[in-house]
Structure formats: structure tokens, C-alpha cells
Structure 1
């Protein structure tokens, strides 16, 4: 059974075009919430970020070492650049192991029950971006 995208998500996906390595417009009208974003980043069921990345999460055991430490990534990227990398990291590195969090196109080996669904919705991506920016408050 295929699961259809809801209209809000489909509309947001159409606004998630990467141009010059950035997605300049937020994916939602509601600003990202850094506390919710931190929860997504540290969740082993939602964002899964700490399976590969490590970060300033002393309470989290067994953080990943397959990808850059999150504070190092934030130091190099602006909010639009981070948004683009979370939406579709394969745009930048076609062989990356990082999932495309906000795409349903050109994916491989997707279980039927997850077909047509993004890993994160637009608001969750905005929350993650807001949290990552708190790791380096000098970036916009």
C-alpha cells in the first residue's frame, strides 16, 4: 500500500529546490524550535543523526563516528546550506550514507510501507536547522 503525501508536505517539497548549494526559503511558515530540533537530532527513532554523528550530548551514550561532529558541520554552513544538506545530502555527495530526509524521488531499497513518505517533515527540518544553529550562534 502506498502512502500519499499530505498537501502541506507536497507543497513544501516543491519549495525545497537546492540552488547554488542552498535552500534559502524555510520549508514552513513556523520558525524552527531548537528544543524540538535537539530532540530530533538525539532521537534514535526519528532523526537518527547520532547514529553517525557525534555532538555536545553528554547524556547520550554511543554517538556515531562515521560522519563529522555536528559542531564542526555547523561552523562551515549557513542556515540555507544546512537546510539543503538535510533535505538532500546526495545532491552534494552522490554516494553519501546520509539519508535524504525530505525527498521521495530517486530512492533505493525503500520498504513498501514507507514509499511516498519523507523521513522528516518540513517543520522537523526547520527545527533541526534551528537547533544546529545554536551550536554556533555566529551564523545566521
Structure 2
């Protein structure tokens, strides 16, 4: 129930920035163990763009639940692990799977799937059939999180 409610909350919060959402078809990927080892786009993302996505409260919404090394951002979340040191704790592939669909690792997670469109309940009408982030945006976030070393 918490997961379904969270999808509704995230979908509602995403609406103001819906024009920024990807209109692309989902790119195929393979899960190996606890990771998606290959980049969704076939190339590395841009860490600076990834930081902007993570800090953006209309697009990534990461700071709604996570805290991290963002001294300029007020009201960071405390429901999920801090993003500080994420690049030390997880590989790029592990980070990628957690962003694409954390539910594959923990079915009870409240983290929304940023690159899954099937099997979701009560999705905002403007987001039906669309991922929260594009493949390029996922790679940008992965590139940024990988830089966060302890």
C-alpha cells in the first residue's frame, strides 16, 4: 500500500515539470544480479546535469526523501539513505538499477521506479506510459552519484 501511495505522490509532484519528461520508448536493459551493468544509452552521462536533476524538486524529486551534499538546498529528506558517499557504496550498475526500478531489489521500497512504466497503480494521467526520467537523464544521475565518494 505504501508503494502504491508513493507512486501517486510522485506522479502528482511530477506534473508541473511534465513538459521536461521523456517522450521516448523505453530502451531495453539487462539486470545482472543487483545491477544494470550497461548504460541505457550506450555512453556515460554528464555528472553536472545529473546533479541538477537530483537537486531539482520538480524533476528528480530525490531530495524529497534523500539528503546529500547539497548545502544550498533546504529541507532535504530523511526517509531514505543519504546520497553522500553513494559512489563508494554502490557501483554504477548498482546505482542504475536502484534508479531504474528499486522495486526489483526491495518490493517494499517507497522509491518510485524512474524508468518503468508497467505494473504501476494510480499514475497521473499525464504520465501514463512515460518514465519519470529519460534514459539520458538516468545516465546523468548515475554519473553524478558515482562521483559522491566518501
TM-score by length of 2: 0.80
Which residue does 1:25 correspond to in 2?
Answer: 38
User: Per-residue CA shift, 1:26-84, capped at 9, x if unaligned?
Assistant: 01134210000000000000000001000000000000000000024432210000001
The residue that corresponds to 1:49 in the other structure is 62
Q: Which residue of 1 aligns with 2:98?
A: 85
2:12 paired residue number: none
1:106 corresponds to: 119
Structure 1 regions of 5+ residues with no counterpart? none
After TM superposition, what 4+ stretches of structure 1 lie above 4 angstroms from structure 2?
Answer: none
The DSSP-based 3-state class of the residue aligned with 1:71 is: coil
- Gaps (5+ residues) in structure 2? 1-22
Q: TM-score, normalised by structure 1?
A: 0.86
CA RMSD of aligned residues (A): 1.7
Matches within 5 A, 1:1-140: 6=24, 9-10=25-26, 12=27, 14-15=28-29, 17-136=30-149
CA contact (8 A) 2:53 2:141 kept: yes
